[in-house]
Amino acid sequence: MVREAKGTTKPGYVNPNGQITIRNTDAPGTDKNQYVYQIACSKYGCNYGANGSDIHDRKCPQCGAGTAGLALDAREGKEKKGVAAFFGKWPGAETDEELLAAVDDLRKPRS
Ligand SMILES: [Zn+2]
């Protein structure tokens, strides 16, 4: 893990250029071990994505002559993936019979 400058990835952080950290989009960034963070510009409310490691000195790509922002679209509206990913694995689609058969199988002495 790469350590980011203290606090810059926390929602509400404002960097010296007036760029505000909104949230971690969970999308992989373009820099090593980085996520794309949604950043808002306090001047005109522009929104764009930035690597976590870039937040501290990011300038707005739309009104602050910063480099182009990263895409924010792909993961928009797809929250709560953690819970779904966890419960997606279990329980499975097995019937009781299949589960019992599986348990029986485990009990059988190996020959
Ligand atoms: Zn802006």
Say which residue, 10 or 73, is predicted with more confidence.
Answer: 10
Measured in Å, residue 47 CA sits from the centre of ligand 1 at 7
Taken in order 81, 55, 3, 28, the sign of the CA dihedral is positive
Question: Domain limits at 40?
Answer: 19-78
Measured in Å, residue 62 CA sits from the centre of ligand 1 at 5
Instruction: Tell me if 28 is assigned to some domain.
Output: yes
Ligand 1 is an ion; its neighbours by CB within 5 Å are 41, 44, 46, 60, 62-63
pTM exceeds 0.85, yes or no: no
Burial class (CB in 10 A: 0-12, 13-18, 19+), 31: middle
Residue type, 29: G
Instruction: Tell me if 100 is assigned to some domain.
Output: no
Instruction: Tell me if 87 is assigned to some domain.
Output: no
Tell me the C-alpha distance between 6 and 27, whole Å.
21
Instruction: Tell me if 8 is assigned to some domain.
Output: no
**Residue 36 in this model has a pLDDT that exceeds 60:** yes
Distances (CA, A) of 77 to 12, 44, 45, 74, 103: 20, 23, 20, 9, 41
Instruction: Tell me if 14 is assigned to some domain.
Output: no
| Count of domains for the chain | 1
Tell me, what's the pLDDT at 92? 58
Tell me, what's the pLDDT at 75? 47
